[in-house]
Amino acid sequence: MANERPARFTPPAPRPAGVPRMIIGPNAVILGYVLKSIPNSDFSMKTFGDRLRLQKIVYMVEAFGVYLGYDFSWYLRGPYCTNLARAGFELEQIMDRIPDGDGVKFLEKDIQKKFDRCVGFIASVMDRHDDLDKLEIAASIHILAKTSNASKQDIFERVVSKMPKSEARRADLLALCEKMWDGLSAHSLLSDKKNGQSGPGEPRKTPKREKYSIKAVPESIGEIKDAMIEKQQYGDAALAVTLKDIYEHNQDLEPNDEPAFTQRPSHVAQLVSDTKRNEILTYVTRQYW
């Protein structure tokens, strides 16, 4: 029959009575397969560190030239994409159904080489899933180099200013900035900004940017997720989680910088067809949870 589920796919347990359905998009499935191929990605959306890791890993994949369909702007702690947060909450519902394997394969050989280079880079800056300093610094340096005309040292200061630190830790973070700068340069991901030179592209005037303070604690993450499931307001829910993180970390909210990937490819990188993944994709596009 046309509406039969694939025989090899084990459907989830029935939803308890009264639990609203949640739409799972195909982007979440693709994201899960990509993350399974990256060391120490350890997907979760429970903590601030979990969500930061997701944002920075996917940003670096795109920085290496593998466009997955997410556009980032500077936010609380470096590059951030609300649509990626949305996909993360969707992926949270099905991650346990995505099998471990030999890693995703991209249709284009050039894209595969770029992805493999990125995997190697991430492995070199993360010793474990919660080892996030170097990853965060690398992603933050890259987006600022792409979207501003700030000097190298000004970029370092902005990156470190947003990270929790003591005076002793500040020196360590600045040293990591230098190390990550060299690492990104070795992969040809940065223009030369030595000795305070300006960044890539034509210098432009930077308008004065107003800061906004968060005056009230947003809803709890649990309540946000419940509202997201009930009303399908993924973008609003993802933004609310970000605001909660900003408040809890005593940060001011600044207007976003321009998106980093304004010269992005014309299409999202495509994966080689996979039977199991196709089964999951077929299921999630037919079902409401």
- The answer on pLDDT for 257 being more than 80 is no
Residue 70 contacts residue 62 (beta carbons within 8 Å):
yes
Q: Helix, strand or coil for residue 80?
A: strand
Structure tokens at 152: 């190298």
Contacts of 91 (CB under 8 A, 6+ apart): 28, 29, 31, 32, 35, 43
Model pTM score: 0.76
- The answer on pLDDT for 175 being more than 70 is yes
pLDDT (mean) for 105-117:
95
Confidence of residue 253 (pLDDT cuts 50, 70, 90): low
| Amino acid 198: pLDDT | 38
Percentage of the chain modeled with pLDDT above 90: 36
The helices-and-strands tally (H runs, E runs) of the chain is 10, 2
Confidence of residue 265 (pLDDT cuts 50, 70, 90): low
| Amino acid 205: pLDDT | 44
pLDDT digits (tens, 9 = 90+) for 45-103: 888 899 999 999 999 999 999 999 998 888 878 998 888 988 998 898 888 888 887 77
pLDDT (mean) for 139-166:
90
Confidence of residue 149 (pLDDT cuts 50, 70, 90): confident
DSSP string, 250-289: T--B-PPPPPS-TT--SSPPPBPP-HHHHHHHHHHHH---
Beta-carbon count within 10 A of 192 CB: 10
pLDDT digits (tens, 9 = 90+) for 180-233: 999 999 999 997 644 444 333 333 344 455 555 545 555 566 666 565 555 444
pLDDT digits (tens, 9 = 90+) for 9-21: 455 555 555 544 6
57 or 7: which leads in pLDDT: 57
Return mean pLDDT, the chain.
78
pLDDT (mean) for 130-141:
94
Distances (CA, A) of 256 to 72, 74, 98: 9, 5, 33
Residue 125 contacts residue 134 (beta carbons within 8 Å):
yes
| Amino acid 232: pLDDT | 46
Give the residue from 146, 124, 138, 143 showing the smallest Cα distance to 176: 138
| Amino acid 201: pLDDT | 37
